[in-house]
Chains A and B, each alone.
Chain A
Amino acid sequence: MRHVDEYRDEGAATRLLGAIRARVTRPWTIMEICGGQTHTLLQAGIDRMLPEAVTLVHGPGCPVCVTPVEKIDRAVALAGRPDVIVTSFGDMLRVPGSRGDLLGAKAAGGDVRMVYSPLDALALARKHPDREVVFFAVGFETTAPANAMAAWRAKREGVRNFSLLCSHVLVPPAMEAILADPEQRVQAFLAAGHVCTVMGYHAYEPIAARFRVPLVVTGFEPVDLLQGILMAVDALEAGRHEVENQYRRVVTREGNGPAQRLLAEVFEVRDMAWRGIGTIPASGFGLAPAYADLDAERRFDVAAVTAAEAGECIAGEVLRGRKKPPACPAFGTRCTPEHPLGAPMVSAEGACAAYHRYGRDPGSAT
């Protein structure tokens, strides 16, 4: 497959691993932001091939992992209404709230449907004018433009039975929150290539300068990640702290202008609660005033649904890179993909799910 196979080439991977080994002289801790990157690292076995001096910790970039419990509870409450069809991406269906997940709501008779695109949810609303279709809009800057497009079209076409349950989050404020934590040990970042495809990477330049950390915009294939790690190690060894771009075949400094303009029209930046982390100022998107009538939380009376996090899950520690999944006492025993206590064990981008699925034993806990 073109544009994929060359980034999964064993020869290229071996050369990059050799270069990393040759460059590294002391221990470094690097955080990959995105859960998609975490999965590639473990699926390809890269975490086991790196020299011991390079430690990778896993970041908060798993959209469903950081979606607050109460948002899930609100989606479940909406699914309980006979007039509502709740639509969502597949990952979200199995993430537990405080009163069950959306699949449970479906089994109890709720109309919950998995879609591949928010525009499919909009099409569903056109097809069922007598029902209310709610799209559970979660994700980072990557998924936000498509969700914004659905809102923009719904407004333009006057589709009145469509609304969004919004829980959008932004990467740069989360990185600042991680770096501002006095206990943090991250020395360099692999920034999420897809987020930067949309937003560019200029917003990271002040972060790199202020916290004196190198930051490499990195792709998602094994060779991308190895090259990103090499660039980060090189910067750390040389004492540089700037933003570099490994994912040049896709990412530019300025990003995708039309997508950014659409985001600016449909959304406004708000303080946002992150599951397991807490509220981070100016770290999320809510619908802008002109789109407020598409806000499911306004349209339906669900604001009263609130919830607290269950006790045992250490998702917050995992999502901030303080602990690795096997350090959790429930990992693989009381918490498994079949019976998840927290979101990171569910999602295709959750670090706990990656460790469990690819067989990283508790010996690798730090």
Chain B
Amino acid sequence: MTEPPPDFRRLACPVPVTTGPTVQMAHGGGGRMSKALTDRVFLPAFRNEALAALHDGATLERPAGRIAFTTDTYVVRPIFFPGGDIGSLAVHGTVNDLAMCGARPLALSTGYLLEEGFPLADLERVVASMRDAALRVGVPIVTGDTKVVDRGKGDGVYVNTAGIGVVPDGVEIAPARVRAGDRVLLSGGIALHGIAILSVREGLAFEAAIESDSAPLHDLVAAVLAAGGPGVHVMRDPTRGGVASATNELAFAAGVGMVLDERAVPVREDVRGACELLGLDPLYVANEGKLLAIVAPDVADAVLAAMRGHPLGREAAVVGEVTRGPAGRVTVRSRVGGTRLLDMMSGEQLPRIC
């Protein structure tokens, strides 16, 4: 195969085009166009004191308590989906990772990896959505970065966010605190995000749109901690791999077993129908706004009531119990009264063929 002839056009020095409708290589080049993109898109959206200083990094006041620190990268396709988009998801996901440590979010960073040719209008939409999500949470985006890769070397846009948060003194969330007899609580109907994404991929359409549950959980977590205090032993947001993977990871990390009751797990009727059609087990489908909490039995009722009193936890339920083990073994009591192992997902859940 012969290499295509080199394209020297970019080496020439024409007047820079700064007002085109798409992302260009020069938007990531560190020159005028980079500055123009930052000035036009990012700074007005994320406006805050730390960012306005325009240093290489942000400086923040040191809070009381321990620091929680997390990062996640978002590659969702399509970037706009029912119930959300990559911008809001990138805020919610990282805020939720912090919340699962018992932390109140303090500040976020974001990195955008853009593909040459990505429509600027879409970028502005994503950034506006990220801004709105951060505003609703009340967390500033204090530092950021943009890079551009050649057309064909990316997939439109990838977004990274990192976050720091504060864990108040006295809050101790760790798998090691889980004990046999603890209750497993779930904040609401599962499998919405995964089904929402699948429903807009090529060739699938359901009668009514199923929207992603993408939401920030910090406030729900605060309510849970207020109600359960030290009785709240560990929390997870069951994202990729769903409730099955989250419970397996926790059981393994805590050295305990778990028994879930399939009938107690909330699954919305239309989601259950979609899962049936696609041959998916909702326990393995991704969520982006659900909280799985493992709490001491004596605070289970109070935590359940606190969840149900919060807009994001109205459908909350006790779905299972922690057992002595064998360590890492999660079983499910089926609808007809049998039991089965709930294994980790292996690979992607594949649709069945007949």
- CB within 8 Å of B: which residues of A? 1, 4, 8-10, 13-14, 36, 42-46, 48-49, 63-64, 89-94, 114-117, 120, 123, 138-140, 142-143, 194, 222-223, 226, 336-338, 347-349, 356-359
Q: Which 9 A-B pairs have the closest CB atoms?
A: A45-B338, A359-B341, A90-B350, A13-B336, A89-B353, A348-B352, A337-B346, A358-B340, A142-B354
Chain A residue at minimal CB-CB distance from B330: A359
Q: Which residues of A contact B353 (CB under 8 A)?
A: 63-64, 89-92, 138-139, 143, 348-349
Q: Mark B328-354, 1 if CB is under 8 A from A, else 0.
A: 010100111111110100110011111
Cβ–Cβ < 8 Å partners of A10 in chain B: 335-337
The answer on a CB contact under 8 Å between A43 and B346 is no
- Tell me the minimal C-beta distance from A126 to chain B in angstroms: 13
B345 to chain A, nearest CB (A): 9
**Other A-B pairs, 8, CB within 8 Å; known A120-B202, A123-B203, A139-B353:** A1-B272, A1-B276, A49-B336, A116-B204, A222-B336, A338-B346, A348-B279, A349-B354
Query: CB distance A140 to B347 under 8 Å?
Result: no
Q: Which residues of A contact B343 (CB under 8 A)?
A: 356-359
Nearest CB on A from B336, distance (A):
4
Determine if B273 is an interface residue (Cβ-Cβ < 8 Å): yes
> Whole-angstrom distance between the alpha carbons of A44 and B340 in the complex?
7
Q: Mark B187-224, 1 if CB is under 8 A from A, else 0.
A: 00000000000000011100000000000000000000
User: B269 on the interface (CB 8 Å rule)?
Assistant: yes
A113–chain B nearest beta-carbon distance, Å: 9
Given contacts A143-B353, A194-B354, contact A337 B340 (CB under 8 A): no
Task: Give CA–CA (A299, B16) in the complex, Å.
Answer: 51
B350–A44 touching, CB < 8 Å? no
Q: Can you list 8 residue pairs at the A/B interface with Cβ under 8 Å?
A: A9-B335, A43-B340, A45-B334, A63-B353, A63-B354, A91-B350, A116-B204, A338-B347
Closest Cβ neighbor of A8 among chain B residues: B335
Q: Please, how many residues of chain B have a CB less than 8 angstroms from a CB on the other chain?
A: 27
**Other-chain contact of B337, A1, A14, A358 (Cβ < 8 Å):** A14
Q: Given the interface contacts A63-B353, A91-B353, does A46 sit within 8 Å of B347 by beta carbon?
A: no
| Interface core residue of A8, A14, A357 (most chain B CB under 10 Å) | A357
Could you tell me the distance in whole angstroms from the C-beta of B251 to the nearest C-beta in chain A?
13
Q: Are B338 and A49 neighbours in the complex by a CB distance under 8 Å?
A: yes
Establish whether residues B354 and A143, one from each chain, have CB atoms under 8 Å apart when the complex forms: yes
Residue ID in chain A nearest B280 by CB atoms = A348
Give Cα distance in the complex from A337 to B284, angstroms.
Answer: 15
Among A49, A123, A338, find the residue whose CB has the most chain B CB atoms closer than 10 A: A49
Most buried by A among B269, B272, B336, B338: B336
Cross-chain contact A36 with B350 (CB below 8 angstroms): no
A45 touches B346 (CB 8 A): no
Quick one: which of A94, A116, A347 contacts B203, CB cutoff 8 A?
A116
Residues of A within 8 A of B269 (CB): 1
CB-defined contacts of B336 to chain A, threshold 8 Å? 8-10, 13, 44-46, 49, 222-223, 226
B354 near A49 with CB under 8 A, answer no
Give the distance to chain A from B252, nearest Cβ to Cβ, in Å: 15
Determine the chain B residues whose CB is within 8 A of the CB of A356 once the complex forms: 343
CB distance from A290 to the nearest CB of B (A): 26
Contact (Cβ within 8 A) B334 A44: yes
- Contact pattern, B 102-119, Cβ under 8 Å of A = 1, otherwise 0: 000000000000000000
Q: Return chain A residues, CB-CB under 8 Å to B204.
A: 116
Q: How far is the CB of B281 from chain A (nearest CB, A)?
A: 8
CB distance from B137 to the nearest CB of A (A): 35
* Docked CA distance A4–B275 (Å): 12
Do B203 and A120 have beta carbons less than 8 Å apart?
A: yes
* A117-B202 Cα distance, complex, nearest whole Å: 11
